[in-house]
Structure 1
Amino acid sequence: MALVKIENIEVGEFPLLLAPMEDVSDPPFRAVCKENGADLMYTEFISSEGLIRNAAKSVQKLDIYDYERPIGIQIFGDKIESMREAAAIAEGAQPELIDINYGCPVKKVACKGAGAGILLDIPKMQKMTEEIVKQVSLPVTVKTRLGWDDSTIRIVEVAKRLQDVGIKALTIHGRTRKQMYKGVADWTKIAEVKNHPDIHIPIFGNGDIDSPQKALEYKNEYGVDGIMIGRASIGYPWIFKEIKHYMATGETLPPPTMAERVDVAKRHLQFSLEWKSERQGIYEMRRHYTNYFRGIPNFKPYRTQLVESEDPQFLFDLLDEIGHKFEDTFMMA
């Protein structure tokens, strides 16, 4: 297979991308995903208004580290001029690419005309993208959804118009905004874009990939250039390694041992404490613990302590205790 390139950036033969997820895809989480095989990662989405106003939370999301490369900074907003200015600020942080969020379905974003909301105004979407492409010298990519609802699916037209104004890759989540994260992602529509004779940029599929078997099945059936993984990676960064191994060998890797789970959880927590405030670092780790230790019988008392404690040392000691008490849980027979 030929290497997939986003303009001049090589991202592998069949790249696995880490989705930009709010309060998830921060540097601590990206670190453990990169270690486990993520080929291209994105920051959490960053408000264009926050960036141009120098809001601390937005500016902090520009933090990127050399070991993460290649990495894209993702921005969102509903005002063309603000998005253009924000793209220039993001370029100053020296990522490999700038990504535009046209897919976020949450009400406070989409109903203001940003994220997936712009799918109701495709000419504006095209104009905004064109202005951002003109503004920056880095490759610009887009993540979007199929449409606002079933009656507004024009994803092939969207892809052609965005390609025409200069984007270098497109990721498509196979749901409409109305679906949110319910129902099943429709990859046949993603395949229509990928297989259209006028489309020449890489097309990445997103939605419902939660196992190595499904990743290979969708790769073969829909012909996409790579896959973006979101929710299945939360608390389970090993998903990238497992998919790559299965695609290369046809064999399923054994699940990570308890020692591996505890080690990654502790390093993730340590980085989270260092990168954010202690309180925020502890709080934002809580969404990951359930998946780090999914499948352990009688784990509820420990999970309760993990998500309620605000004492870092207690958490590290508790993780060690979990490692010792359940050390044989994920051992292969």
Structure 2
Amino acid sequence: MRIGPHELPNSLFVAPMAGVTDRPFRQLCKRLGAGYAVSEMVTSRKELWNSLKTSRRANHDGEVEPIAVQIAGTEPEMMAEAAAYNIDRGAQIIDINMGCPAKKVCNKWAGSALMQDEALALSIVEAVVAACQPHGVPVTLKMRTGWCQQHKNAVRLARAAEQAGVALLTVHGRTREQGYKGQAEYDTIAAVKAAVKVPVVANGDIDSPEKALAVLRATGADALMIGRAAQGRPWIFREIEHFLSTGTHRAPPLVAQVHGWLVEHLHDHYSLYGEWSGVRTARKHIGWYVRGLPGGEALRQHINTLESSDAQLSALNDYFEALSQRHVHLPDAPAAQVEQPEPEVA
């Protein structure tokens, strides 16, 4: 699997999720089997580039290459400048966001709202490609099947984007109107795959090894992108990779392994965000790790009352030590426990 000059170790991608797929999370997913990860989306609004949020999102210190950054906006010139800004900060692949269904994004005609204005969408693609070409940086595009059920234009946009120089296309199998409700449909992704020659990535509702295989067969896609199912379960990538390679299931991770991964994740998280913000933003990640586990809900509620990283880590150490005395491997958590992502999911 290649994106421009970059050869990837496999075809399993981490979806860009604002507030979730920061550098510590991406790094852990890559360690646990993901071949590629795209950053949280970075705004094209120049006045926000010096904000703490954007500076953190543009921080790629120590990140495993290739470094892919998603940009969002509505003006071709601003999007081109945003591409150049992120290339200067280490981006090796630029991804254009035409998939985010969040109201605060779509109300500004960014994200999936761009699919309503194909001329503007294409102008943005052309401007970003032109800005990236002198640097040898490939451009990718993430979109939905369309704005609504009556306006599915993913195939037409995919053809136009390919002609404009996009190196890879990702399609989430829902319209913007659907948000994350209902079931993802894969016929449109298959139609996009049949219509273009560049690699196509299937996204939407991939939450198990069996589902991954089924989506590959249904779409003929070159790769899979996983978002919500990786929240609190970054080892899903190695589980899927093993199943696709062997047809058998990998044993669940050891409780001690999950404990170690979570502690590693949190140390990296605190380092990026600092003590005050790090403790508070870590709470959701901890909640995702322990959802559905014995005593997990009580731990989550307790974690939400703690005000220091030391207290969080101490509570987690106590919890996992007790869990390891009852279970060698991580107990299965009910699939129904999977939560919706934060609003800014691309």
TM-score (norm 2): 0.91
For 1:216-247, what per-residue CA distance to the aligned partner results, in whole angstroms no more than 9, with x for missing partners? 12112321000000000011100000000111
Q: Distance in 2 between matches of 1:157 and 1:24?
A: 31
Q: Which moved more, 1:28-37 or 1:50-59?
A: 50-59
Match of 1:162 in 2: 161
Task: Give the one of 224, 237, 241 matched to 1:240.
Answer: 237
Q: Distance in 2 between matches of 1:256 and 1:293?
A: 14
Q: Which moved more, 1:108-117 or 1:303-312?
A: 303-312
Match of 2:236, SS state, is: helix
Task: Give the one of 267, 282, 285 matched to 2:279.
Answer: 282
Alignment of 1:43-192 (within 5 A): 43-50=39-46, 53-136=49-132, 137=135, 138-192=137-191
Is the 8 Å Cα contact of residues 6 and 169 (structure 1) preserved in structure 2?
A: yes
Question: How big is the shift at 1:323?
Answer: 1.4
Task: Mark the CA change 1:185 to 1:37 in structure 2 (over 3 Å): closer, same or farther.
Answer: same
Q: Distance in 2 between matches of 1:50 and 1:272?
A: 26
Task: Mark the CA change 1:50 to 1:321 in structure 2 (over 3 Å): closer, same or farther.
Answer: farther
Task: Mark the CA change 1:157 to 1:330 in structure 2 (over 3 Å): closer, same or farther.
Answer: farther
Question: How big is the shift at 1:300?
Answer: 2.6
Task: Mark the CA change 1:231 to 1:53 in structure 2 (over 3 Å): closer, same or farther.
Answer: closer
Q: Does 1:258 align with 2:255?
A: yes
* Aligned AA (1:104): C
Unaligned runs of at least 5 residues, structure 1:
none
Task: Mark the CA change 1:103 to 1:35 in structure 2 (over 3 Å): closer, same or farther.
Answer: same
Question: How big is the shift at 1:331?
Answer: 2.8
Aligned residues: 327
Q: Distance in 2 between matches of 1:308 and 1:143?
A: 38
Q: Distance in 2 between matches of 1:233 and 1:57?
A: 22
* Aligned AA (2:30): K
Q: Distance in 1 between matches of 2:307 and 2:255?
A: 23
For 1:178-226, what per-residue CA distance to the aligned partner results, in whole angstroms no more than 9, with x for missing partners? 1000011111100011022xx1100000000000111012112321000
Match of 1:195, SS state, is: helix
Q: Distance in 1 between matches of 2:65 and 2:16?
A: 15
Paired-residue identity, % = 35
Is the 8 Å Cα contact of residues 104 and 115 (structure 1) preserved in structure 2?
A: yes
Question: How big is the shift at 1:41?
Answer: 0.7
Q: Does 1:309 align with 2:306?
A: yes
Q: Distance in 2 between matches of 1:52 and 1:85?
A: 13
Q: Which moved more, 1:120-129 or 1:218-227?
A: 218-227
Q: Distance in 2 between matches of 1:275 and 1:168?
A: 31
Task: Mark the CA change 1:43 to 1:90 in structure 2 (over 3 Å): closer, same or farther.
Answer: same
Question: How big is the shift at 1:328?
Answer: 4.2
Question: How big is the shift at 1:267?
Answer: 1.1
Q: Which moved more, 1:56-65 or 1:29-38?
A: 56-65
Asked which structure has the greater RCO (Cα within 8 Å, sep 6+), the reply is 2
Task: Give the one of 211, 215, 224 matched to 2:212.
Answer: 215
Task: Give the one of 200, 203, 211 matched to 1:203.
Answer: 200
Task: Mark the CA change 1:84 to 1:254 in structure 2 (over 3 Å): closer, same or farther.
Answer: same
For 1:53-97, what per-residue CA distance to the aligned partner results, in whole angstroms no more than 9, with x for missing partners? 533321221111444211211110112221111111011112220
Q: Does 1:319 align with 2:316?
A: yes
Q: Distance in 1 between matches of 2:327 and 2:83?
A: 45
The RMSD of aligned alpha carbons is 1.6
Match of 2:33 in 1: 37
Q: Distance in 2 between matches of 1:35 and 1:127?
A: 37
Task: Mark the CA change 1:250 to 1:54 in structure 2 (over 3 Å): closer, same or farther.
Answer: same
Runs of 4+ more than 3 Å apart: 50-53
For 1:94-151, what per-residue CA distance to the aligned partner results, in whole angstroms no more than 9, with x for missing partners? 2220111011100010121000110110110001110110011310001111111011
Match of 1:267 in 2: 264
TM-score (norm 1): 0.94
Is the 8 Å Cα contact of residues 186 and 218 (structure 2) preserved in structure 1?
A: no
Q: Distance in 2 between matches of 1:192 and 1:231?
A: 24
Q: Distance in 2 between matches of 1:183 and 1:32?
A: 29
Q: Which moved more, 1:56-65 or 1:314-323?
A: 56-65
* Aligned AA (2:147): W
Q: Which moved more, 1:236-245 or 1:49-58?
A: 49-58
